[in-house]
Structure 1
Amino acid sequence: MISAENDRFLRLKEVMRITGLGRNTIYTRMRDGTFPRQVHLGPKSVAWLQSAISQWMESVVEGSSSAHQIRP
Structure 2
Amino acid sequence: MQEQATFLKDTEACNRYGVARSTWWRWLSEGVIPTPVKIGPRATRWRLSDLEAWETKRGEVAQ
TM-score (norm 1): 0.73
Gaps of 5+ in 1: 66-72
User: Once superposed, which parts of structure 1, at least 4 consecutive aligned residues long, lie more than 6 Å away?
Assistant: none
Structure 2 residue ranges without an equivalent (≥5): none
Contact conserved, 2:10 with 2:24, CA < 8 A, in 1? no
- CA RMSD, 1 decimal: 1.6
The answer to whether the aligner puts 1:25 opposite 2:18 as a matched pair is no
TM-fit CA distance, 1:43: 0.7
For the pair shown, the structure with the greater C-alpha radius of gyration is 1
Number of equivalent positions: 62
2-structure distance, mates of 1:57, 1:21? 15
- Counterpart Cα distance in 2 of 1:44 and 1:57: 26
1:19 touches 1:57 (CA, 8 Å); kept in 2?
no
What is the deviation of 1:49?
A: 0.3
RCO higher in 1 or 2 (8 Å CA, sep ≥ 6)? Answer: 2
Identity of aligned residues (%): 24
